[in-house]
């Protein structure tokens, strides 16, 4: 500690203070003017308006999709894994291991039927991100989710970065040939394994499995985006899966950050290179407890956008229902013109009548990898599951 060394009285004082844990003796904070006028949604929105912010970065996790009824597919016991028992997996999570997938893609594709986009409709939180885009102030939306609901809500492809990939694109696991995602989906819902039309290898949607790298768009883009950001909105994530979680550290030191989540998270300085959330400092961080949908509604109201949000939600619901009726309630369009490589093991019972089970958030289990994290239905923010090290190589989920 500068200027204190050798001064016995101050040393003692520092020791005592440190002992009581009231002050961070090691890193005295210089006096600084608070960035925000108040440390709540009002203060955050006032900052956006007063500073004419146009480069808002959003970071989202499973919590923004909770109210859509997206199953927490990482948690065995939610029912999602029940029909995988016949595969006798050693670890249910093997479904998302790339090595296992190469050996046996059937369990994944069984599960994928339940996870495929089309069953679910965007939540108000997704529409709020769309609204940020429409108002011209969204720099980028980073999501851990693979459900593509932000795209369904109309967020442009170049505005969305799916850190753990998504079903929106697909590639051959052997020759890397790109496959038409609609065709892949058709095969899956027909109970088939999609095989590469060029080499016959197994085709996989580009969701990131354990053992795979994170998408290049993510690893290459986030530093610049966060450095350019003039405000950061973090929603529905436990900030436990790195490197996604560490994005908050890359925002400039005076950029306001709001966390909308059931629980306070991201305060562990060690995990965030000194740029953890510090809600108590009353400097630039705001914690807004509650659901994402409630939180964005408050922000929309304060921004004067409440009617816009209502309209987007209503239009989105109409479009979703129209689309569903157009497909007769199933996702299995363009089905059976190609029957190659059937593994014989598929159950064809995808009549899909269960595509509607929304709002089951109470049943979500969050026990795995979140010790003591009472996120409840808010999810632990990492719906795609794989964690990665800083080189972008996906390892296993890791505690931070």
Give catalytic residue positions: 164
Query: Looking at beta carbons only, is 174 or 368 nearer to Zn ion?
Result: 174
Residue that is written with structure tokens 């029940």 in the block: 82
Of the pair 78, 197, the CB lying nearest Zn ion is at 197
Any idea what DSSP says for residue 350? -
Q: Which residues contact 147 (CB under 8 A, 6 or more apart)?
A: 65, 68, 70, 115, 117, 120, 166, 167, 383
Tell me: is residue 263 an annotated ligand-binding position: yes
CB of 178 to Zn ion, least distance (A): 10
Q: Does 155 bind Zn ion (CB under 5 A)?
A: no
CB-based contact 238:381 (threshold 8 Å)? yes
Chain residues 172-231 in contact with Zn ion, contact rule CB under 5 A: 172, 174-175, 177, 196, 198-199, 201
CA dihedral over 239, 123, 354, 208, signed as positive or negative: negative
Token pair, residue 105, equals: 């893609």
Q: Which is nearer to Zn ion, 32 or 198 (CB)?
A: 198
- 382, two tokens: 């990492």
Q: Would you say 60 or 172 has its CB closer to Zn ion?
A: 172
Residues from 163 through 182 that contact Zn ion (CB under 5 A): 172, 174-175, 177
Q: First and final CA of the chain: distance in angstroms?
A: 27
349 is in an annotated binding site: no
Please state whether beta strands 231-235 and 203-207 pair in parallel, antiparallel, or not at all (unpaired).
unpaired
Cα 319 from Cα 342, distance rounded (Å)? 34
Q: Which of 93, 125, 387 is nearest to 240 (CA)?
A: 387
Q: How far is the CB of 207 from Zn ion (least distance, A)?
A: 18
Is 66 annotated as contributing to ligand binding?
A: yes
What is the distance of C-alpha 370 from the center of its chain? 16
Q: How many residues bind Zn ion (CB under 5 A)?
A: 8
Residue closer to Zn ion by CB (options 174, 333) is 174
261 is in an annotated binding site: yes
Question: In angstroms, what CA-CA distances link 27 with 1, 23, 24?
Answer: 8, 9, 6
Q: Hey, how many other C-beta atoms are within 10 angstroms of the C-beta on 288?
A: 22
Residue 175 annotated as part of some ligand binding site: yes
Number of CB atoms found within 10 A of residue 368's CB: 15
Residues β-bridged to residue 59: 142, 234
Q: How far is the CB of 102 from Zn ion (least distance, A)?
A: 13
When computed from its CA atoms, the radius of gyration of the chain, rounded to whole angstroms, is 23
At its nearest, how many Å lie between Zn ion and the CB of residue 203?
7
Query: 237 labelled as ligand-binding?
Result: yes
Q: Does the annotation place 53 within a ligand binding site?
A: no
CB of 244 to Zn ion, least distance (A): 29
Residues of this chain that interact with Zn ion (CB under 5 A) are 172, 174-175, 177, 196, 198-199, 201
Q: Which residues are annotated as a binding site for Zn(2+)?
A: 172, 175, 196, 199
Q: Which residues are annotated as a binding site?
A: 62-66, 72-74, 144-147, 172, 175, 196, 199, 237-238, 261-263, 292
């Amino acid at each position: 500690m500068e200027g204190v060394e050798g001064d016995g009285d101050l040393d003692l004082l520092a020791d005592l203070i440190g002992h009581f844990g009231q002050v961070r003796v090691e890193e005295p904070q210089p006096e600084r003017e608070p960035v925000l006028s108040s440390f709540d949604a009002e203060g955050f929105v006032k900052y956006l308006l007063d500073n004419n912010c146009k480069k808002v970065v959003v970071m989202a996790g499973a919590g923004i999709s909770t109210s859509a009824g997206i199953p927490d597919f990482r948690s065995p016991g939610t029912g999602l894994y029940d029909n995988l028992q016949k595969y006798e997996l050693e670890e249910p999570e093997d479904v998302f291991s790339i090595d296992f997938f190469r050996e046996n893609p059937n369990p994944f594709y069984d599960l994928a039927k339940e996870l495929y986009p089309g069953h679910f409709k965007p939540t108000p939180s997704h529409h709020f991100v769309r609204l940020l885009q429409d108002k011209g102030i969204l720099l980028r939306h980073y999501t851990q989710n693979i459900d593509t609901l932000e795209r369904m809500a109309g967020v442009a492809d170049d505005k969305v970065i799916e850190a753990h990939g998504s079903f929106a694109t697909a590639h051959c696991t052997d020759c890397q040939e790109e496959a038409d995602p609609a065709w892949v989906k058709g095969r899956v819902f027909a109970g088939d394994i999609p095989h590469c039309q060029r080499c016959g290898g197994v085709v996989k949607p580009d969701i990131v499995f354990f053992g795979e790298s994170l998408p290049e768009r993510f690893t290459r883009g986030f530093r610049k985006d966060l450095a350019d950001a003039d405000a950061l909105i973090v929603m529905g994530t436990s900030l436990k899966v790195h490197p996604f979680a560490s994005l908050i550290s890359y925002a400039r030191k005076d950029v306001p950050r709001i966390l909308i989540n059931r629980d306070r998270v991201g305060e562990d300085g060690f995990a965030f290179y000194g740029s953890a959330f510090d809600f108590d400092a009353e400097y630039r961080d705001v914690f807004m407890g509650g659901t994402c949908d409630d939180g964005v509604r408050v922000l929309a109201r304060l921004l004067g956008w409440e009617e816009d949000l209502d309209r987007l939600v209503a239009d989105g619901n109409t479009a979703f229902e129209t689309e569903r009726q157009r497909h007769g309630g199933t996702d299995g369009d363009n089905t059976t013109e190609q029957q190659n490589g059937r593994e014989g093991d598929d159950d064809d019972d995808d009549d899909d009548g269960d595509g509607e089970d929304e709002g089951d958030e109470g049943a979500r289990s969050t026990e795995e990898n979140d010790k003591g994290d009472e996120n409840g239905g808010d999810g632990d923010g990492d719906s795609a599951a794989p964690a990665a090290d800083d080189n972008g190589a996906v390892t296993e989920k890791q505690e931070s």
